[in-house]
Structure 1
Amino acid sequence: MTEKHSKYYLLDTNILLHEPLAFLNFEEHNVIIPMVVLEELDNIKDRNKDVSREARVAIRSLEDALKDATPEQILEGVPLSNMQGAHHAQGTLAIFPDYALKQTEAVLNLSENDHRIIQSALELQKKFKDSKVVLVTKDINMRLKAKGAGVKYVEDYRTDQLIDDIRYLSKGFVEIEGDFWAKVGDVESVQEGRETFHEVDRTILPGAFRNQYVIDESETFAAKVVAYDNEVVRLHDLGYDRMMSYKAWGIQPKNIYQAMAMNALLDPTIDLVILTGPAGSGKTLLALAAALEMVVEQGIYEKIIVTRNTPEIAESIGYLPGTEEEKMAPWLAAITDSLEVLHKHDESMESSMNYIMNKANIQLKSLNFMRGRSIQNAIVILDESQNLTASQLKTIITRCGTGTKIICSGNLAQIDSYYLTAVTSGLTYIVERFKDYPGSATVNLNGVVRSNLAQYAEENL
């Protein structure tokens, strides 16, 4: 690999916190880690934070790659092809000694870590004039500062980005213009017990995937894709009116989108349900109502575990009084709000809520304490999951054992994380990754049903 043809990627700390093995994803190119990044990882690894585990994994992985190298080799670059594991990295990994940088008359103040990383990129840019030196960071403000300081190439880390525009994200359903049957030529229908299945030409639904819902504008047809091949798509006819008559814990769907969500939520063969949509579309209420129906009324599951991502929770939960459930209550108020809606007509709403909390064994858990668990025979409701990375969501989903159903809900327009966007959110990632998995279903809940005010605000603000 000659200097003229290789690229040099300088990684910010947030890249390794986002994905600890990110340095292995740059193929034949060379990766450089500034010394200040190692210092930041060292400061984070022992903190009680969501990212402390990622920091420890990143440090161990870097040590595995560099453990047999001499100090001179580490500064020059150690071949990553020597590192064991399932990767295709053929470039080198080096540590840049940014502590040796001298404070110049430039605007950058090297006492700030971000500025040391930017100055490192500028130094490498001078050293490798004939090569492309790229600073990779998920911090938008740092990308702006780096450009302003003279770094020619600054990029976001997009290895785990599956789509370029959120408009292309799967909604989990396809809406046919007009009447569905008017567009269908030959069809083969089969009656299996009380259920009807249709086989239609693949050209009508060219992008079909399993558990994708099919509706039409005439509001007469509703079905779900159960199988497909290169020629035909097999549809399970759910019936529009029958779907709109679904009921779970006293709640009925207000539109066909909620009806599709309820069909997926109440189906015990679907282990993962992903609900996306704007605030006020009913994601949390439907998830909780379906969970109570399946735990208390049907007895399919034994308990309900509710959790959500709260970025400040590691620093804030400790001083709060009470048990873990009591500590988590302020962050899971959406669940108690939904419980109030479900029992607002009871004679004693507070008594009903306390009874149901015990009867359904509803547990409010911190995301930090979900790691290492194996959850059996439960429904896990993961609220506000748009703020999670792909690796964090993987950690939660892999906790689910036999007989467990997980419901991930989130609004991609309300991301609070500093480093995530709608296209890089873990919620977007799992929607695309699980799109054709037979045990999962996605539904985008169009429309705000909370109130006319909430709907107007969603559309106009």
Structure 2
Amino acid sequence: MNNENMLSDNSTQTSQINETIDQPIIYILDTNILLHEPFAFLSFKEHDVVVPMTVLEELDSIKDRRKDVSRDARVAIRALEDTLRDASPEQVLAGVKLPQNDDQHPSGSLAIINDYALEKTAHTLSFNENDNRIINAALHIQKKTPNKKIVLVTKDINMRLKAKGAGLAHVEDYRTDQLIDDIQFLTKGYHKFEGDFWQQIQSVDSETEGRNTTHYVSRETVPSTYINEYLLDDSGTFAGKVTGWDDDKLAILDLGRERLLAKNAWGIHPKNIYQGMAMDALLDPTIDLVILTGPAGSGKTLLALASALEQVIERGLYDKIIVTRSTPEIAESIGFLPGTEEEKMAPWLAAITDSLEVLHQQDESMHGSLNYIMDKANIQFKSVNFMRGRSIQNALVLLDECQNLTAAQLKTIITRCGEGTKLVCSGNLAQIDSNYLTAVTSGLTYIVERFKDFPGSATVNLNGVVRSRLASFAEENL
């Protein structure tokens, strides 16, 4: 193609962009946004979305890799194809109207532009890198539509810096799935009162059924509470759990600190009140989802495993224990591991086997005890990668290290849980290994916030390291 034809194509493309992109904001998506959430292009409401051709090429190169991310690439490609299936090439370039969610909120459009066809000027970056071509596309649209707000959306911090340096006015991270702005605001699962709780109560009605006493106090006592939230005070005796409310009254189940600290599961007793609250939730058959957060050494894995053994072997509430976690991509550097799925997963679930050894270290033959318990409790080690499509019935599922999972991956696992299944999710938001996740965008943070109002779930942040004084000092000072 000669230069005149190239310039003609460029001017045609520019005029089409000028004519058709007329919404308040135009969002240009980077590849990692569609890998993070394949349907992200549907999340911008009435605003327009532009996908550069380089993004499609990167998705195409990723879709055949042997990684979890390849599935997200394929889903994103299919979603884009479904949206643009009946559109002509001119319409794709101009922008195809996106599906409308409801009558009150109009939807924007989706366009694909050929960023290779854009002219190179003194102000554009080199076209040798994919990131640069996407930035150049955003700069081009910003120049041709100066009356519109042009936003490049990427999770790549360095790319955001490069775009700013190249002259792009607006660059953002993808925050549609971000429910909180700061991790300090993440729900801890309990509310602590200063002083004595009962000194702050004007009136109370109580009723007792068996061992359980429920108090009804003014709703204003804890105006922003949620179901199954634990309540503590500084008196050292009071501990309760919110079991319901209406416009006037708040129902609090009286647990008592001594009662929580007296909990027992497979010979394990809580070492602090936070472990007591966690064990109460873990042993409660009415709770289908328990989320444990907290620093390394706070007892998340040990408590979950002890409670699982107690309920499967001693109480017979579940038929089996399924232990699963994501396998980090760094595993590829040591090659393929031999053996069955359980044997392949063993290196990644060493925390579970370590906890099993702690629970049976006083036995005469620890090795024999471990083999007996593995068989008696029907403990199965599974990879998150193979959980899709399953339906897990009457099992207790332990999902370890879930801070490295996205919201979509956690949804896949949670929706596998069938009748009679309990799921325990544990993780430490300070130990995220993923390149695309932060503490506020982690799937663990997402489910903590999404499930806090669900009557069948409970969250507990285990505050305090009990592993050793060395671990405790390291957690506080390193």
Normalised to the residue count of structure 1, the TM-score between the two structures is 0.95
Q: Deviations over 1:16-37 (max 9, x none)?
A: 1111111111111110001111
SS at match of 2:430: coil
Q: Distance in 1 between matches of 2:334 and 2:376?
A: 26
For 1:62-461, list aligned pairs within 5 A: 62-81=80-99, 90-101=107-118, 108-312=125-329, 315=332, 319-461=336-478
| Distance change in 2, residues 1:224/1:167 (3 Å) | same
Q: Distance in 1 between matches of 2:291 and 2:31?
A: 30
CA drift at 1:423: 1.1
Name the aligned partner's letter for residue 133 of structure 2: R
Are the counterparts in 2 of residues 25 and 89 from structure 1 also a CA contact under 8 Å?
A: no
CA drift at 1:144: 1.6
CA drift at 1:341: 1.0
Q: Distance in 1 between matches of 2:22 and 2:106?
A: 19
Q: Deviations over 1:58-108 (max 9, x none)?
A: 111111111111111111111114x79999561111111022245666784
Are the counterparts in 2 of residues 375 and 399 from structure 1 also a CA contact under 8 Å?
A: yes
Name the aligned partner's letter for residue 38 of structure 1: L
Name the aligned partner's letter for residue 39 of structure 2: L
CA drift at 1:119: 1.7
Q: Which shifted more, 45-54 or 284-293?
A: 45-54
SS at match of 1:51: helix
CA drift at 1:149: 2.1
Q: Deviations over 1:292-316 (max 9, x none)?
A: 1111111100111111122317846
SS at match of 2:68: coil
2:39 is the counterpart of 1:21: yes
2:52 is the counterpart of 1:34: yes
Are the counterparts in 1 of residues 21 and 94 from structure 2 also a CA contact under 8 Å?
A: no
| Distance change in 2, residues 1:148/1:42 (3 Å) | same
Q: Which shifted more, 375-384 or 120-129?
A: 120-129
2:72 is the counterpart of 1:54: yes
Q: Which shifted more, 378-387 or 87-96?
A: 87-96
Of 7, 25, 48, the match for 1:7: 25
| Distance change in 2, residues 1:89/1:103 (3 Å) | same
| Distance change in 2, residues 1:329/1:181 (3 Å) | same
Q: Distance in 1 between matches of 2:154 and 2:346?
A: 34
Q: Distance in 2 between matches of 1:333 and 1:103?
A: 54
For structure 1, list consecutive stretches of 5 or more residues without a partner in the other structure. none
Match of 2:16 in 1: none
Are the counterparts in 1 of residues 326 and 405 from structure 2 also a CA contact under 8 Å?
A: yes
Q: Distance in 2 between matches of 1:89 and 1:456?
A: 54
Are the counterparts in 2 of residues 317 and 328 from structure 1 also a CA contact under 8 Å?
A: no
Percent identical among aligned pairs is: 70
Are the counterparts in 1 of residues 319 and 377 from structure 2 also a CA contact under 8 Å?
A: yes
Q: Distance in 2 between matches of 1:4 and 1:62?
A: 21
Are the counterparts in 2 of residues 249 and 289 from structure 1 also a CA contact under 8 Å?
A: yes
| Distance change in 2, residues 1:268/1:317 (3 Å) | farther
Are the counterparts in 2 of residues 246 and 259 from structure 1 also a CA contact under 8 Å?
A: yes
Q: Deviations over 1:390-442 (max 9, x none)?
A: 11111110000000000011111111111111111111111111101100000
Q: Distance in 2 between matches of 1:255 and 1:124?
A: 58
Q: Distance in 2 between matches of 1:107 and 1:124?
A: 12
Are the counterparts in 2 of residues 24 and 89 from structure 1 also a CA contact under 8 Å?
A: no
SS at match of 1:413: helix
CA drift at 1:221: 0.7
Q: Deviations over 1:190-243 (max 9, x none)?
A: 011221111011111111211011111111011111111121111111121111
Are the counterparts in 2 of residues 50 and 314 from structure 1 also a CA contact under 8 Å?
A: no
Q: Distance in 2 between matches of 1:279 and 1:77?
A: 49
CA drift at 1:111: 2.8
Q: RMSD of aligned C-alpha atoms?
A: 2.0
Q: Distance in 2 between matches of 1:362 and 1:156?
A: 41
Q: Distance in 2 between matches of 1:266 and 1:317?
A: 39
| Distance change in 2, residues 1:348/1:389 (3 Å) | same
Q: Distance in 2 between matches of 1:88 and 1:351?
A: 64
Are the counterparts in 2 of residues 317 and 327 from structure 1 also a CA contact under 8 Å?
A: no
SS at match of 1:357: helix
CA drift at 1:136: 0.3
Match of 2:7 in 1: none
Are the counterparts in 1 of residues 21 and 95 from structure 2 also a CA contact under 8 Å?
A: no
CA drift at 1:317: 8.6
Q: Distance in 2 between matches of 1:335 and 1:185?
A: 47
For structure 2, list consecutive stretches of 5 or more residues without a partner in the other structure. 1-18
Name the aligned partner's letter for residue 125 of structure 1: Q
Are the counterparts in 1 of residues 20 and 94 from structure 2 also a CA contact under 8 Å?
A: no
Q: Deviations over 1:264-307 (max 9, x none)?
A: 00011100000011111001110111011111111100111111
Name the aligned partner's letter for residue 146 of structure 1: A
Q: Distance in 1 between matches of 2:253 and 2:421?
A: 24
Normalised to the residue count of structure 2, the TM-score between the two structures is 0.92
Name the aligned partner's letter for residue 50 of structure 2: I
Are the counterparts in 2 of residues 4 and 130 from structure 1 also a CA contact under 8 Å?
A: no
Q: Deviations over 1:309-329 (max 9, x none)?
A: 223178469711111111111
Q: Distance in 1 between matches of 2:256 and 2:227?
A: 18
Are the counterparts in 2 of residues 265 and 290 from structure 1 also a CA contact under 8 Å?
A: yes
